[in-house]
Chain A
């Protein structure tokens, strides 16, 4: 089976840095994705890691360690609009994408 774990909720302050962790155990691995989802809206793609290491994209960075089954999403210079759910998803056998339960991030002034 597939198991993807991430914290349910996190709170951070505007302007700060926050790290959202994701651990996974899946049958096969073909990449890890992070999506952002505002309540009632569609998930939007943030980042993709298939090799170990850090991928940076503006204020967002994502890290992957395949040997540890671990990833994190780093958000810098937090803004109020970053309050949303962040979804970790693993692509595995058959090009399937399985999502974790999501981390609800609240950014406070």
Chain B
């Protein structure tokens, strides 16, 4: 158990809809990272937060947004969903000079 909690585990929704993915980092970790992994693809970095502030942005679509709350949990919002958004979405947390630890992911299926 990595200590990073993601909910829900699975999400099935229709095109055009909006969903929210939730992540609670490991105790003591201030940074939260979001990654997208499409089928048989590598991990694509979306966005990073540190102690409530956005730190870095990857190839995140304008339809996607995220935030980190004062209790350090984070949410990733995906809107106007398209079939191509179907993927595994991973959250990871970490501290400086330590490895990232990943949650079990949310599998999103857009139909």
> Could you list which residues of chain A lie within 8 angstroms of chain B, going by C-beta atoms?
31, 33, 40-45, 48, 87, 89, 94-102
Q: Is B103 among interface residues, defined by CB-CB distance under 8 A?
A: yes
Q: How many A-B residue pairs have CB under 8 A?
A: 53
A96 pairs with B88, CB closer than 8 A: no
> Which residues on B sit within 8 Å (CB–CB) of A41?
104-105
CA distance A84 to B42 in the complex (A): 13
Query: Which of the 9-residue segments B13-21, B65-73, B77-85, B94-102 touches chain A?
Result: B94-102
Q: Tell whether, in the assembled complex, residue B55 and residue A102 are in contact, meaning their CB atoms are under 8 Å apart.
A: no
In the complex, residue of chain B having the shortest beta-carbon distance to the beta carbon of A2 = B45
Given contacts A40-B88, A42-B2, A99 and B102 within 8 Å (CB-CB): no
Query: B2 contacts A95, CB within 8 Å?
Result: no
Closest 10 CB pairs of A and B: A101-B42, A42-B102, A99-B43, A45-B99, A94-B56, A96-B56, A42-B104, A43-B102, A102-B42, A99-B42
A33–B45 alpha-carbon span in the complex (Å): 15
**A83: shortest Cβ distance to chain B, in Å?**
15
Greatest chain A CB density within 10 A among B42, B55, B104, B107 is at B42
Collect the chain B residues with CB atoms within 8 Å of residue A44's CB. Answer: 2, 102
